[in-house]
């Protein structure tokens, strides 16, 4: 990676960054900034429908002191508000495109009809408004929204277009978990970014960066560099999204303490899983709870190890005050997930992830084909239990994301023991290291439409844009496979 033009490194930031080659002008760092919490939107229903009005706009954002960095944002200078949706609610999420370029807005992890998916076919032209209208019908989880324009997703996300969606249900309401948004239930959108000498976002990937994924040298948290957040003595919940284009993040605490993961992409885990670190590939989420009951008046750092470029960085400091939180323990049981038996699967689909350089124009493919929005690659009968097998043929990591619904991981490289305990929930994105394979159980339910496509793809955004994506429709016709 060419680091010559990077915004200059300084010793001061090095004190904050652990073992990295990051370089930023120290005087421009906003040291000790209070963690910015995206606004939570929970509008009162009008005629039974919750209306969310979201403006996609050009903006400028202060990543650094007294410097305006050109960005894109949604009702904000960078990223967008968090949308609170409850199971059973009717919603209309109205996106107005104030940019001078076409975009789309996809509800990542949302279970909804294909025409409301916000994939490559639901384009929003400049000046237009597009509404995702549906009834929320899924378990409590942390999802997100982001552009999904054909070949253009990576750049639009990179400049700031993304936001969280929190889905609540009866279970999440009843569980004795930290759940005060922005206080002890903290949303964290984690991304790496590259700033040029003028502290502007730099996104012009050369072919090698398309092939290997584009990564920056600074990891930002809700659009900030190493912010701090004050919490009470007790349990603290972090809703973490790996919102990067291509960064593989391993999260842990500075003292290597244990914590519990309570939820994965699309659901709670059945019971909390004890961990010392959690790995998230681009697009994946984890809700974790850390016990700070013995940390009165102390501080704790959350750290990311970026696995591909291999550097460490503090991404958040938690400052524990001397007040007592009401939540001191974790529930033993969080949810019950549907028991799916692989023997009941009636069809297996195989997806081969591959790619090659092609004289400086990387081609990335699934089953030998690049995404063609005019082609339906798979026709999937509704209510049919299937096994999807994803094989990564390349010597680099990928992941695999499907729209429409969630899946249950079955095995990796043929071994069920290679599925980690914290992957045993409902997932919509799964990591597939170089030359490895994964199988999962999946069933399309509720929404059939022979005319409207959902997508499946690698969620390394440069790979998706370079073709590693395909389309499927869900049909009521039993015979189609």
* Shortest distance (Å) from residue 396 CB to Cu ion: 8
Q: Which stretch binds Cu ion (CB under 5 A): 143-151, 262-270, 385-393, 450-458?
A: 450-458
Q: What are phi and psi of 114, to 5 degrees?
A: -60, -35
Compute the least distance from the CB of residue 388 to Cu ion, in Å. 16
Binds Cu ion (CB under 5 A): choice among 362, 378, 463, 472: 463
Q: Which is nearer to Cu ion, 91 or 210 (CB)?
A: 210
Is residue 456 a contact residue for Cu ion (CB under 5 A)? Answer: no
- CA-nearest of 238, 250, 307, 312 to 276 is 250
Of the candidate residues 54, 302, 458, 474, the single one contacting Cu ion (CB under 5 A): 458
Closest listed residue to residue 306, CA positions, set 190, 224, 204:
190
CB of 247 to Cu ion, least distance (A): 13
Residue 149 binding Cu ion, by CB under 5 A:
no
Q: 30 — phi, psi (to 5°)?
A: -95, 90
DSSP state of 88: T
Buried b (16+ CB within 10 A) or exposed e, 93-122: bebbbebeebbbbbbbbbbbbbbbbbbbbb
Choose one: 13-21, 127-135, 219-227, 462-470; the region binding Cu ion (CB under 5 A): 462-470
Distance CA 436, CA 143 (A): 26
Quick check: 258 and 283 in contact, CB under 8 A? no
Q: Which of residues 392-411 bind Cu ion (CB under 5 A)?
A: 398
- The verdict on 148 binding Cu ion (CB under 5 A) reads no
CB closer to Cu ion out of 62 and 281: 281
Residues in contact with 180: Cβ distance below 8 Å, sequence separation at least 6, in sequence order: none
Tokens linked to 230: 């004050």
Question: Please, which residue, 114 or 458, has the CB nearer to Cu ion?
Answer: 458
State the minimum distance, in angstroms, from the CB of residue 283 to Cu ion.
11
Pairing assessment for the beta strands 454-457 and 469-475 based on DSSP bridges? antiparallel
Question: Of 186-245, which residues contact Cu ion (CB under 5 A)?
Answer: none
Toward Cu ion, which CB reaches closer, 145 or 351?
A: 351
Q: State the first-to-last Cα distance of the chain, in angstroms, to the nearest integer.
A: 44
**Single residue of 145, 203, 460, 472 touching Cu ion by CB under 5 A:** 460
Nearer to Cu ion, 108 or 463 (CB): 463
Token digits of residue 183:
């206080």
Rounded to a whole number of angstroms, the minimum distance from the CB of residue 163 to Cu ion is 23
The residue among 314, 308, 309 whose CA lies nearest residue 15 is: 314
Compare residues 216 and 362 and give the one whose CB is closer to Cu ion: 362
Binding interface with Cu ion (CB under 5 A): 398, 458, 460, 463
């Amino acid at each position: 990676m060419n680091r010559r033009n990077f915004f200059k490194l300084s010793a001061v930031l090095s004190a904050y960054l652990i073992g990295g080659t990051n370089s930023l002008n120290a005087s421009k760092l906003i040291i000790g900034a209070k963690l910015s919490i995206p606004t939570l939107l929970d509008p009162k229903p009008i005629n039974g429908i919750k209306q969310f009005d979201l403006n996609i706009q050009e903006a400028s954002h202060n990543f650094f002191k007294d410097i305006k960095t050109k960005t894109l944002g949604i009702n904000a200078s960078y990223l967008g508000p968090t949308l609170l949706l409850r199971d059973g609610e009717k919603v209309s999420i109205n996106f107005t495109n104030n940019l001078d370029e076409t975009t789309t807005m996809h509800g990542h992890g949302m279970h909804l009809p294909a025409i409301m998916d916000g994939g490559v076919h639901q384009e929003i032209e400049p000046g237009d408004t597009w509404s995702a209208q549906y009834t929320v019908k899924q378990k409590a989880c942390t999802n997100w929204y982001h552009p999904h324009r054909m070949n253009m997703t990576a750049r639009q996300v990179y400049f700031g277009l993304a936001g969280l969606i929190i889905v609540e249900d009866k279970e999440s309401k009843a569980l004795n978990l930290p759940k005060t948004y922005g206080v002890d239930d903290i949303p964290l959108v984690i991304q790496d970014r590259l700033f040029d000498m003028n502290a502007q976002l730099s996104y012009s990937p050369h072919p090698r960066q398309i092939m290997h994924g584009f990564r920056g040298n600074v990891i930002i948290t809700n659009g900030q560099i190493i912010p701090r957040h004050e919490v009470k003595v007790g349990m603290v919940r972090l809703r973490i999204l790996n919102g990067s284009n291509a960064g593989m993040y391993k999260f842990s605490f500075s003292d290597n303490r244990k914590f519990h993961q309570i939820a994965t992409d699309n659901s709670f885990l059945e019971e909390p899983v004890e961990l010392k670190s959690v790995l998230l590939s681009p697009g994946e989420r984890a809700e974790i709870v850390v016990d700070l009951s013995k940390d009165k008046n102390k501080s704790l750092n959350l750290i990311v190890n970026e696995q591909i470029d291999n550097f460490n960085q503090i991404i958040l400091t938690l400052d524990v005050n001397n007040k007592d939180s009401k939540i001191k323990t974790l529930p033993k049981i969080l949810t019950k997930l549907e028991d799916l038996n692989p023997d009941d699967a009636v069809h297996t689909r195989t997806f081969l992830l591959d790619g090659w350089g092609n004289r400086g124009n990387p081609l990335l493919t699934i089953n030998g084909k690049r995404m063609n929005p005019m082609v339906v690659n798979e026709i999937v009968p509704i209510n049919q239990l299937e096994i999807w097998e994803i094989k990564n043929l390349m010597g680099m990591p990928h992941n695999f994301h499907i729209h429409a619904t969630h899946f249950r991981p079955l095995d990796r490289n043929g071994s069920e023991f290679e599925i980690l305990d914290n992957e045993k929930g409902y997932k919509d994105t799964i990591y597939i290291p170089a030359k490895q394979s994964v199988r999962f159980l999946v069933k399309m339910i509720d929404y059939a439409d022979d005319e409207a496509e959902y997508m499946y793809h690698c969620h390394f955004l440069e790979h998706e844009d370079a073709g590693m994506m395909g389309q499927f429709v869900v049909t009521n016709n039993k015979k189609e496979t």
